[in-house]
Amino acid sequence: MWIDLPPFILLFVGGVLAAVTRGTLRKSIMLAVPILGGLNLIGVEHGARFQYEVAGQTLTLFRPDGLSLLFGYLFHLAAFIGNLFALHLTDEEGATLQHSSALLYAGSALGAVFAGDLITMFVFWELLAFTSVFLIWARGTERSYRTGFRYLVIHVLSGVLLLSGAIIRAQETGSIEFGNIGLDGSLGAWLILISFGIKAAFPLAHNWLTDSYPESTATGAVFLSAFTTKVAIYGLARGYAGTEMLVYIGAVMTAFPIFYAVIENDLRRVLGYSMINQIGFMVTGIGLGTALGVNGAVAHAFNDVIFKGLLFMTMGSVLRQTGRINGSDLGGLYKTMPWTAAFCIVGAASISAFPLFSGFASKSMVMAAALEEGHSIVWLVLLFAAAGVFHHAGIKIPFFAFYGHDSGIRTTDPPKNMLVAMGISAVLCIVIGTFPEQTLYRILPFEGGYHPYDVTHVLTQTQLLFFGALAFVGLQKFHIYPAELRSINIDVEWLYRWVAPRIVGGVGSLVSRIDGAVRGTAVSAARRVIAVGSRDHAGEGLLARTWPTGSMLLWVAILLVGYITFYLAR
Amino acid sequence: MSHDESLHPDRMDGSRPEGPPLGPYAWWSHPAAERPRIWDDPANVRKLLIGFYIACAVLVLLELVVDRHEYHPWEAIFGFHAWYGFAACWMLVVIAKQMRRVLMRSEDYYDVD
């Protein structure tokens, strides 16, 4: 550590510089800022600092400890890989907007995990939404524009819940410090949990993720997949470790999205569903609350950022090179995008938790923790989900994009910076997966050794995956496997994208019809009065002829009636 | 192989230009023809699958020689992880396919007012 400074500051400065510089200078800033920030965290002293007294409460901007530092390193790494992947962007693609908001977004994530109190966290919580939405809007389509607004509304709502919870807690406990909260039956604790739950894509609140990530830019999805949900996982690990409800919520999260993933056509949306599945493993680990469970959860968060980022990068490359991302339009791309195909397979092997790949070293911790705590059924659900994730993310994504039916599309591998970014991620997946005890396990927040590589575990996991693949081969051979169809599948969002507008529209048209009738009657009555009144006033352009006066008359009358009613009813 | 040739819009479906059938090495002299790739040959796909089936069999048979710990009572069943993985994936796909009947809509479902 050279300078003792809250890490978000450097990233924010970088974000501003990225907006005002161009060319090679900007590229150097994009790469140097996350590297310098990450190096600056090495050997940092633990403990809260940069504290300010505001209205009797202490705001803490920098609280490095085991848990926040793991996410601190991770977010710098993710920002570096993401920036490298996006380095080629041109002005036509909105380079300035995307580069700048990516750095500000990464800074907000760092601000949130190093915040020592709930109010500071709230500020960065909202900034996460406002900085990242530009990575969706930069796509420039009508659809991304609408999706961005939905994304913003949901995340602002999550922030409002966090703020409300923080205020209630401050009144109850007298402090806004963010430590272990737990569900003690107080409203504040519930509100904060729901706020975290929305950002972590809990079931029923998950749809913002699968709605927005596929509509973002080819490079933007890489950043989006890295930060928002992982900040929520950090919040849950800090505040709600050992909350039993989370074990079951997590189990549901691992299981239900994989059904959607199997029938989804947009391959980036498939990744979105598989992301909820992976977050489910983390939430379960946090709910278990043991050292092994929480270590497993945050280790899996670390790995997920890298391998999910890698998968989003490969699909982003496909989207950039071919202009298509639907499984029904793709296939056979291994012929012309061999590197991308190879990186995709590494990412797929990692998310599927193949031995020697990163997912294996962390997912197994959560599953072992579930068995240790006697959650037999949850373990079976997790095992089902572990097989299922291989099926859709491990096989479906590479198979339908790069192999399978030849779509006839002939293109090339993406630019070098994109390939190098994917290459770094792929190497990290293999190194962490092969040597977890020398790498990732060293920065885990809690004590307690875990050895993923024993014979039983390697054998059983390989059996699970190979026979899952065997099922895929069988389903393809017998033509049972559902074809990729140009279609979408309705999800919870149907309620607010289809049902609600129609209810609002129906009520609205009813209201406007009643309003129109009432107004019409009132206006014609008023006109008659005015006509009578103006008979003697010869001349033209009487004010009473115009609409606003008519309705003003009506509203004054209503106000008067209301006032009298309240006065009498008092 | 020529990228420009193969990118001709008329041939985005992967079809070859009309003319006499091209031999397997035609790509050398005939730029419009593509070099055949490894999975274009069904024999290679068959070899891959046979290797895969053998690997599956070996993985189950290994249970006879490896001293495996059991953390869950069901793991005592022979080849538990193998059949559980197979059944899980098969069920997953069959159920998901039925879900389409209820959930599937046209691509512009939300765009139409």
Do A475 and B90 lie within an 8 Å CB cutoff?
yes
Residue range A180-227, pLDDT digits in tens: 998 888 899 999 999 999 999 999 999 999 999 999 999 999 999 999
CA-based nearest residue to A170, from A223, A220, A120: A120
**From A146, which residue of chain B is nearest by alpha-carbon distance?**
B111
Return the structure tokens found at A540.
Answer: 């033209």
Instruction: Tell me the β-bridge partners of A266.
Output: A326
Give chain A's radius of gyration (CA, Å). 27
Domain residue ranges in chain B: 3-36, 38-67, 71-107
| Chain B interface, best mutation among A333, A372, A396, A410, by max B CB count within 10 A | A410
Nearest CB to A406: which of B14, B74, B95? Answer: B14
pLDDT band at B9; cut points 50, 70, 90: very low
Q: Which helix (H) or strand (E) holds B104?
A: strand B104-105
Give the C-alpha separation, A200 to A209, whole Å.
9
* B11 to chain A, closest Cα gap in Å: 7
| Chain B interface, best mutation among A258, A324, A463, by max B CB count within 10 A | A463
Do B14 and A332 lie within an 8 Å CB cutoff?
yes
Nearest CB to B109: which of A408, A475, A488? Answer: A488
Residues in chain A closer than 8 A to B36 (CB atoms): none
Q: Is the pLDDT of residue A534 over 90?
A: no
Give the C-alpha separation, A527 to A204, whole Å.
53
Cβ contacts of residue B62 below 8 Å, gap of 6+? A459
Hey, which bits of A42-174 come out as E strands? 49-54, 57-62
* A259 to chain B, closest Cα gap in Å: 5
Domain residue ranges in chain A: 1-239, 241-486, 496-569
Residues in chain B closer than 8 A to A259 (CB atoms): 92, 95-96, 99
Residue whose tokens read 């929305």: A198
Residues in chain A closer than 8 A to B79 (CB atoms): 463
Q: Is the pLDDT of residue B2 over 80?
A: no
Residue A179: what are its φ and ψ, rounded to 5°? Answer: -130, -150
Do A408 and B84 lie within an 8 Å CB cutoff?
no
Return the structure tokens found at A48.
Answer: 């809260």
* Single-letter residue type at B18: E
Give the C-alpha separation, B113 to B107, whole Å.
13
Residue A537: what are its φ and ψ, rounded to 5°? Answer: -90, 85
**From B90, which residue of chain A is nearest by alpha-carbon distance?**
A471
Residues in chain B closer than 8 A to A465 (CB atoms): 85
Residues in chain B closer than 8 A to A383 (CB atoms): 81, 84, 88
Q: Most distant CA pair in chain A: distance in Å?
A: 105
Return the structure tokens found at A472.
Answer: 């895929």
Residue range A396-454, pLDDT digits in tens: 899 999 988 888 888 889 999 999 999 999 999 999 999 998 888 888 998 877 888 98
Q: Would you say A281 and A297 are in contact if contact means Cβ atoms under 8 Å apart?
A: yes
Give the C-alpha separation, A247 to A289, whole Å.
9
Residue range A267-284, pLDDT digits in tens: 999 999 999 999 999 999
- According to the model, what pLDDT value does residue A542 have? 47
Give the C-alpha separation, B13 to A406, whole Å.
8
Give the C-alpha separation, A38 to A75, whole Å.
9
Residue range A444-473, pLDDT digits in tens: 998 877 888 988 889 999 999 999 999 999
A228-239 and A267-288 helices cross at what angle (nearest 10)? 10
Q: What is the ipTM of this complex?
A: 0.82
Give the C-alpha separation, A543 to A552, whole Å.
12
